[in-house]
Amino acid sequence: MRDVVLYLHVVAGAAGLLLGPAWLLARQRGRPGRGPAAGYQVAVGVVAVTAGLLAVTDPSLVWLLPVAVGTEVLAVTGALARRRRWSGWRSWQPHLLGGSYIALVTGVLIAETGNPGFWLLPALIGQLPIAVAKHRLAGVPAEPLAQGA
């Protein structure tokens, strides 16, 4: 059973790593990117659930629980920030969604290398694309609020 959960975890993580940039590119091209966005949210959700399952079945992985919950919270909150037009969403959304993506990258690097230095490296490197996204969003005119959003 653990192997199945681990397989789902890896496949969902890989999907999230592919769908995150696809969503970003769609948005940069002026498209809503609903498919990649939904896929990214599902992938991150599956990663969080499977990480939680792995953590409760192996006491050495209990540290995954807060990371899994935090990653999911970042992804969902980032998606909702724009949709709900929260005050300051243009500043917060890149940090929230970028943080969820950085968590996925960090997970891969830690799993593959075991090097704790990779806890810091993705966060540092991720600041540049987050800053670029914030700059672009600052220049985007306000969109009308969608019906039912």
Q: What percent of the residues of the chain are helix, what percent strand, and what percent coil, each to the nearest 5?
A: 80, 0, 20
- The pLDDT assigned to 91 comes to 83
**pLDDT score of 144 more than 80:** no
143 band by pLDDT with thresholds 50, 70 and 90: low
Q: Give me 24's structure tokens.
A: 């970003």
Q: What pLDDT, in 10s, does the model give residues 65-84?
A: 888 999 999 999 998 988 88
The pLDDT > 90 percentage for the chain reads 41
Residue 142's pLDDT band (cuts 50, 70, 90): low
Contact between residue 119 and residue 106 where contact means Cβ atoms under 8 Å apart: yes
Look at residue 149 and tell me whether its pLDDT is greater than 50: no
pLDDT in tens, 24-68: 888 878 888 889 999 999 999 999 999 999 998 988 888 888 889
Residue 125: alpha-carbon gap to chain centroid? 15
As a whole number of angstroms, the distance between CA 75 and CA 96 comes to 6
pTM confidence score: 0.84
Residue 46 vs residue 92, higher pLDDT? 46
SS3 86: coil
Q: Where are the domains of the chain?
A: 2-138
Q: Is residue 116 a contact partner of residue 110, using CB atoms and an 8 Å limit?
A: yes
**Which among 66, 64, 22 is positioned nearest to 40, based on CA atoms?**
22
Phi, psi of 22 (to 5 degrees): -65, -40
